[in-house]
Structure 1
Amino acid sequence: MAQPKTAQKDAYSLILDAIDSGIYRPGDRLVESELADRFGVSRTPIREALQRLETQSLLARDGRSLIVASLDHNQMAELYAVRTELEGLAARLAARHATEEEIQVLTEMVEEDRALMNDPKALSRANRRFHKMIHLSSHNRYLVQQLDLVHRSMALMATTSLAARGRGEIAMAEHQAIVDAISRRDEDAAYKALRDHISVAFVTRLKLDTQEALGA
């Protein structure tokens, strides 16, 4: 039974969340009628949402069908280049502008997320929350908007770098270094710590993708 309109999220957000959570993965075909049934939304807003997602390159055409897009090597490299700079800037601004309460939340996130190191999916969700908190702590709405776009595209990657053996423990140490720098109000150190964190994640992802391509 469909939820009342006041309780419904818009169709765009529902589909985006489904892609982000892995319900729909790169290459999966999206059908208006199936989406409408799944989410209890009429087909018109579903159609409009699909058009918007296609415009944002999150969906691609496969004949007459729409499928969840995937990123080739060059697109992934381009995305990480942009992400590295924007995330680094967010950390720099967070060191400058974050409130004591925001720093406390970041500190608690790192502590709580250590319990998730053996659950890559849960750790990946926690990782997104952590980064989002840094974005918000930058107190720059335009930067937050651009990072939201980047992170939507990150959902087009079939795997998380946190699935690599030992990556969770290393990532938590990197998160701690980022928060420590923000807590000290050391803008340069925060910028470098977050850039380095993203760089290591990219290297890890490249290794994972190479292993997958070779069937390792």
Structure 2
Amino acid sequence: MSPRCRIRAFHRPSWRSWNLARQAGRDARIGTVSSDAEVTTSPVVATVYEHLLDSITRGDLQPGDRISDAELAKEFGVSRTPVREAIQRLRDIGVIEASANRFTRVAVVAPEQTAKAMTVWIALFCALVDEVVENAASETADAMESDHEAFLSALAREDYPAMARANFDFYDRLAAHSNNEVLTRSLTSVVHMVRLGSLYLPQAIDVSQLSRWQGELLAAVRQRDTESAVAAIEGLKGIQVPLG
């Protein structure tokens, strides 16, 4: 399938996002968005970034699929500059890879890379729970419980994409409360590599273990028990990532 066909198969953004993107593109072309900083924070960059990331994590775009900045710019009705900025952001977090004058494509994450990324994620998340669990609000625990229930429901249906979404949403609840920007940026980068890689493992991981450690972490957050929360994250080390 050609890059053109793949891009047109994307789920289109909402009309509100579409209009924001078009306006930002017009602003960029007439010079009201001129500096690198302004382009980086423009609505069109955020819109294209989220659109591509969502397409990748849903599986609409798969590892190795080509991405054309020209086609994306045409789809959104904007210049290629903000589209390239969005693509660069996705390269920074490891879900898109490129070779000059050859290709820009969804990253191919090998199972070995997924396992290594998971090890890094566990270490980073231990640091995060050490920071935030002691002051976790009851609303955070309530949201995590809803995600846990969604995970269990998806598990019962054997709906693995829904299970993956609920699992990552569950952990994101705590990440949102960190005041350590370096830590959260690092987590954002590695979690998307884990998420992308886990979609294409040769075999499924032991999801019953995921369920167990979610439950342990939820209980620790309810009690604001940092030590038990760290133990629940470290328990994930026992989940083997299939390598072949």
Q: Does the TM-score normalized on the shorter chain lie above 0.5?
A: yes
Give the deviation of 1:126 after TM superposition: 0.8
Q: TM-score, normalised by structure 1?
A: 0.78
Which one of 34, 44, 50 corresponds to residue 87 of structure 2?
A: 50
- After TM superposition, list the pairs within 5 Å mapping 1:9-158 onto structure 2: 9-61=46-98, 64-72=102-110, 74-117=112-155, 118-157=158-197
Work out the CA distance in 2 between the residues paired with 1:74 and 1:168. 19
Cα offsets for 1:51-76 (capped at 9, x unmatched): 44335543323561112222345533
Instruction: For residues 179-215 of structure 1, give each alpha carbon's deviation from its aligned partner in whole angstroms, at most 9, with x where no partner exists.
Output: 1122222211110111212x244x1x3x2x41xxxxx
**Structure 1 residue aligned with 2:230:** 191
Instruction: Name the SS of the counterpart of 1:122 in structure 2.
Output: helix
How far does residue 25 in structure 1 lie from its aligned partner after superposition? 1.6
After TM superposition, the structure 1 stretch with the greater mean CA deviation from structure 2, 125-134 or 54-63, is 54-63
Unaligned runs of 5+ in 2: 1-11, 24-42
Structure 2 counterpart of 1:169, from 208, 217, 227 = 208
Other structure's SS at 2:61 match: coil
* TM-score, length of structure 2 as denominator length: 0.70
* Structure 1 alignment gaps of length 5 or more: 211-216
In structure 2, the CA distance between the partners of 1:187 and 1:122, relative to structure 1 (3 Å rule), is: same
Higher gyration radius (CA): 2
> d(CA) in 1 for partners of 2:135 and 2:176?
10
Do the aligned partners of 1:32 and 1:46 also contact (CA within 8 Å) in 2? yes
Count residues in correspondence.
Answer: 203
1:156–1:115 Cα change, 3 Å: closer
